[in-house]
Chains A and B, each alone.
Chain A
Amino acid sequence: MGAHILYFLVYPGFLFTAIVGGLIAGVDRKLTAAVQFRKGPPVLQPFYDFFKLLLVKETILPASGSKITFLLAPVFALSGISIAAVLVMMPLLGINTGFEGDIIVIFYLLTIPSLTYIIGAMASGNPLASVGASREMKLIIGYELTFLLVIAAIIYKSGAETSLYQIIQTQQAGSVHIGSISGVLLFIAGMFCTQAKLGLVPFDMGEAETEIAEGAFIEYSGSAFALIKLSKYMLFFTLPALIILLFMGGVQLTGIHVLWAILKLVAVVLLITLIRNTNPRLKINQAMRFFFVWMNALVVIAIVLSYFGY
């Protein structure tokens, strides 16, 4: 029992994910600055932002709207992403949970942050927040089907295994999924789903700073906003970890393999950052069409290819 609480709160759960996620968010800002020929903030900047919001700033409650829902939404977002992080990180770090079907649980847990952002935005009673929430909702409708198809294809390619630990074992025994043509197509679709889940450009229309002023988060301030930031940092680590797990055969934490694990993480984060920095923001109808038509078609092609053994 004590070990399980340790797993959840410290390693590899809440604390570990939060610290590494914050570092990744800092590296992301540094890389963005490098792309724009700037110097950029220090790598520890996300931690300064978080502690400033948590400790220094006042939390303002909306005059109209539901105050309790408004305050509870970030807490639920944080707990959802913490559980998802534990369930992703434990198989990745080689701890066998013996949990059959956890890939499906992960799929549901990863939608909790977006859903709670929508609920919090709706509870704030701000018109711009409801515009952001409605965009976020349409985006979820767009990418969830693609993400589900990607997961289904991964389960099929791993020989009908629904446990993350077994998926890693299958890849380490045979070849990694990204090594085949269908795997590459699935990886592309999975990366775009990751981008949309993280709410980064080109899919940041839900929190577009320039048109609707952070959209869904416009009314948040102080510690409630700090919790939202923390859940975003944790998502920034959990989703690349999931991509590594599903496509790149997980990681091994012995000897020189640690370096290899870090390289995989850096490669995925670099890809996300470069997509984010080289694309404009899409309109919501373009984003929905992108996922409904092109990404779904790509995944279906990948499933057919994997049926024929490519």
Chain B
Amino acid sequence: MGFKDFCFKKSLWLFHYGGASCNNCDIEILDCLTPRYDVERFGMKLVGSPRHADVLLVNGSINKRDKDRLLEVYDQMAKPVKVVAVGACGCTGGIFAEGIPFAGPVDKIIPVDAYIPGCPPKPEAIIAGIVKLIETI
């Protein structure tokens, strides 16, 4: 493991993209940043601009309108970028998978590096997913 990978691993900045979500995953993601779970221990922080981000967190089902926006956000990010699909809707589509406006789960649109299932996933599950993501770098 080189110095570059070490630094990348120690400082992952997150950008949060919510698709057509029911907001439960958004709340659980924000939970991870609260004092109780505190992912800033791993050097992670939520940033406001996709230009600064290293990890794209996608939750919620992606419908036809969200798809263009998701691609736009992904193109705006400075590479290398890791993508994490959060929640059942992000991983597979969940209960929306057979709906008419559904445009496919996240991994049909952009390459996904880690999946965190659950409806919604608990903060512990999200941290476990993040640790797995760090191990892939």
Task: Give A contacts to B, CB under 8 Å.
Answer: 29, 33, 36-42, 45, 48-49, 51-52, 55-60, 209-210, 212-214, 217-222, 225
Residues of B within 8 A of A (CB): 3-4, 6-8, 10-11, 35, 38, 40-43, 47-49, 51-52, 54, 76, 78-80
* A57: contacting residue among B3, B40, B76, B78, CB under 8 A: B78
Within the complex, which residue of A45, A49, A55 is in contact with B4, where a contact is CB–CB below 8 Å?
A: A55
Query: Quick one: given A45-B11, A56-B8, A58-B79, are A33 and B48 in contact (CB under 8 Å)?
Result: no
What is the minimal beta-carbon distance from A56 to any residue of chain B, in angstroms?
5
Question: Which residues does chain A contribute within 8 Å of B43, judged by CB atoms?
Answer: 41-42, 45, 48-49
Could you write out 25 A-B pairs with CB less than 8 Å apart? A29-B40, A33-B38, A33-B40, A38-B40, A40-B38, A40-B40, A42-B43, A49-B11, A51-B3, A51-B7, A52-B10, A55-B4, A56-B8, A56-B80, A57-B54, A58-B78, A59-B78, A60-B51, A60-B76, A60-B78, A209-B48, A213-B48, A213-B49, A214-B52, A217-B49
Check A214 against B48 for contact (C-beta < 8 Å): yes
Q: Which residues of B contact A217 (CB under 8 A)?
A: 49, 52
- How long is the Cα–Cα vector from A29 to B79 in the complex, in angstroms? 26
Q: How far is it, in angstroms, between the C-alpha of A251 and the C-alpha of B3 when the chains are bound?
A: 36
Which of A52, A59, A220 contacts B8, CB < 8 Å? A52
* Whole-angstrom CA separation of A212 from B49 in the bound complex: 9
Instruction: Compute the total of residue contacts between A and B using a CB distance below 8 Å.
Output: 81
Please, which residues of chain B bring their CB within 8 A of the CB of A38?
35, 38, 40-41
- Additional A-B contact list (15), CB under 8 Å, known A40-B38, A225-B52: A33-B38, A39-B41, A42-B43, A49-B11, A49-B43, A51-B4, A52-B7, A52-B8, A52-B10, A57-B80, A213-B49, A214-B52, A218-B48, A219-B49, A220-B52
Known contacts A38-B35, A48-B11, A58-B79; is A209 also within 8 Å of B4 by CB?
no
B98 CB → nearest A CB, Å: 36
Q: Look across to chain B and name the residue whose beta carbon is closest to the beta carbon of A49.
A: B11
Partner of B49, one of A29, A40, A42, A214: A214
Query: Could you tell me the distance between the alpha carbons of A189 and B91 in the complex, rounded to whole angstroms?
Result: 54
A29 to B45, CA, bound (A): 12
Give Cα distance in the complex from A115 to B10, angstroms. 32
A225 to B49, CA, bound (A): 12
- Interchain CB contact (< 8 A) of A45 among B10, B38, B76: B10
Q: Looking across the interface, which residue of chain B has its beta carbon closest to that of A218?
A: B49
Shortest CB-to-CB span from B49 to chain A, Å, is: 5
- Write the nearest CB–CB distance from A121 to chain B, whole angstroms: 12
Distance to closest chain A CB from B75 (angstroms): 10
Q: A221 and B78: CB pair below 8 A?
A: yes
| Most central of A29, A49, A57, A59 by chain B CB within 10 Å | A57
B11 touches A39 (CB 8 A): no
Residues of B within 8 A of A213 (CB): 48-49
Q: For B79, what are the chain A residues with a Cβ–Cβ distance below 8 Å?
A: 57-58
Contacts of A49 in B (CB 8 A): 11, 43
Query: Are A218 and B7 in contact (CB-based, < 8 A)?
Result: no
